[in-house]
């Protein structure tokens, strides 16, 4: 081991050096605390023997400094006989052990050094083990999140097979929703969740009969009532697995969290249920108004309409962009949250780029 001996008595330093070097240990010497810190700044040291009363910089200052800069390096106090209180003060400051001088039994010195070195090795091993565990937990968490996101993406793809929309529609809705989430001040973590959950907003269309879902003409009142059920269907699909009644209860009390939920699933359920609510309260299925509608659902409501207008559907051709933007502007304060409409137009170039990248 490499031992640093910090003491203003040359004779003590020489005797410790001679003893330890005979045992094939390497010894460095410092006659005051300042010199010790300079050595520690440039040279690896396994353990330090530190006197307390020294000129220039005393041992207490050395112990405090090494506790911060070298927390895993043991420091052993060399204290004079009769000053045990000072040694205990040093231990409270961070010293690992102490021995008294003059040192008459060098075997006791070696025993003390070996004891603190064993303790240091155990601490390092525990730290490495803890870091390994934390790394494993982080890795498993990433894998779990990746699996959850993949499952949600596959669910949204299932809705595409039922509907006549393409996967690019749900990708556009997700990406543009994230842009507007940032513009509205949502955290980056929440925006990424919104990007991943928004593609599931129409998952409930799985439960709508093809004759209604794919009808090329206008829906009659009865068919429209059936179509509107896709909001509840989507919410139920993403709700509790205990029973359908339990799932329906979660949809009626959407703001309550399910103990079995995770944040992604909870947000996806809100979007599936509420993406057809309107700012003025005239939407469906719950007729919520204004800020009673969660902001993420308000965002997806606008993005879904914009993308539906600009895309071809069984019942209509794609509208030119000028007309799409005019309809969004007309919906300000009625269909859409006015602040989100403003954010939409402020970020229209970014939205156009997403639309071009994920074009059908």
CA dihedral of 307, 272, 257, 176, whole degrees rounded to 10: -10
The average confidence (pLDDT) of the chain is 88
Q: Is the pLDDT of residue 285 over 90?
A: yes
CATH superfamily of 2-128: Response regulator (3.40.50.2300)
- pLDDT cut 90: percent of the chain above it: 52
Neighbours of 150 (CB within 10 A): 10
Is 196 within 8 Å of 264 (Cβ atoms)? yes
pLDDT at 91: 82
The class that CATH gives domain 163-357 is mainly alpha
Question: Which segments of the chain belong to CATH 1.10.3210.10?
Answer: 163-357
- pTM greater than 0.75 (yes/no): no
Q: Is the pLDDT of residue 20 over 60?
A: yes
Q: What is the DSSP letter of 291?
A: G
Question: Which segments of the chain belong to CATH 3.40.50.2300?
Answer: 2-128
Q: Is the dihedral of CA 344, 349, 350, 356 positive or negative?
A: positive
pLDDT at 358: 84
pLDDT at 159: 67
Burial class, 137, CB count within 10 angstroms (exposed 0-12 / middle 13-18 / buried 19+): exposed
Name which of 208-222, 237-251, 280-294 the model is least confident about. 237-251
- By three-state DSSP, how is residue 51 classified? strand
Q: What is the DSSP string of 100-131?
A: EES---HHHHHHHHHHHHHHHHHHHHHHHHHH
In degrees rounded to 5, what are phi and psi of residue 4? -105, 120
Q: Read off the pLDDT of each residue in 8-22 and give the average, rounded to a whole number.
A: 92
Chain centroid to CA 346: 29
Q: Is the pLDDT of residue 164 over 60?
A: no
Higher-confidence position of 105 and 304 = 304
The band of 166, judged by pLDDT with boundaries at 50, 70 and 90, is: low
- By three-state DSSP, how is residue 319 classified? coil
């Amino acid at each position: 081991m490499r031992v640093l001996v910090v003491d203003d008595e040359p004779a003590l330093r020489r005797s410790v050096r001679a003893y330890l070097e005979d045992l094939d240990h390497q010894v460095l010497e410092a006659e005051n605390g300042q010199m010790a810190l300079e050595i520690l700044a440039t040279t690896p040291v396994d353990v330090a023997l530190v006197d307390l009363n020294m000129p220039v910089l005393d041992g207490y200052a050395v112990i405090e400094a090494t506790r911060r800069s070298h927390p895993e390096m043991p420091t052993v106090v060399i204290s004079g006989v009769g000053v045990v209180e000072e040694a205990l003060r040093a231990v409270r400051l961070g010293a690992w052990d102490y021995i008294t001088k003059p040192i008459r039994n060098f075997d006791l010195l070696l025993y003390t050094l070996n004891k603190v070195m064993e303790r240091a090795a155990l601490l390092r091993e525990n730290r490495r083990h803890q870091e390994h565990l934390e790394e494993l937990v982080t890795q498993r968490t990433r894998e779990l999140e990746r699996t959850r996101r993949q499952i949600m993406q596959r669910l949204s793809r299932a809705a595409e097979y039922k509907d006549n929309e393409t996967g690019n529609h749900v990708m556009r809705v997700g990406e543009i929703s994230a842009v507007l989430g940032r513009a509205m001040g949502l955290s980056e973590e929440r925006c990424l969740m919104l990007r991943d959950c928004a593609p599931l907003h129409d998952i409930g269309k799985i439960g709508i009969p093809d004759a209604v879902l794919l009808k090329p003409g206008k829906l009659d009142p009865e068919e429209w009532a059936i179509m509107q059920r896709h909001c509840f269907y989507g919410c139920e699909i993403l709700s509790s697995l205990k029973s359908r009644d339990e799932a329906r209860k979660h949809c009626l009390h959407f703001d309550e969290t399910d103990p079995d939920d995770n944040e992604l699933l909870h947000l996806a359920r809100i979007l599936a249920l509420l993406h057809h609510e309107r700012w003025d309260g005239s939407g469906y299925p719950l007729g919520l108004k204004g800020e009673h509608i969660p902001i993420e659902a308000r965002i997806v409501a606008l993005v879904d309409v914009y993308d539906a207008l600009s895309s071809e559907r069984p019942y209509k051709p794609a509208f030119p962009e000028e007309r799409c933007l005019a309809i969004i502007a007309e919906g300000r304060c009625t269909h859409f949250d006015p602040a989100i409409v403003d954010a939409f137009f402020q970020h229209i170039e970014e939205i156009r780029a997403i639309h071009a990248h994920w074009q059908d």
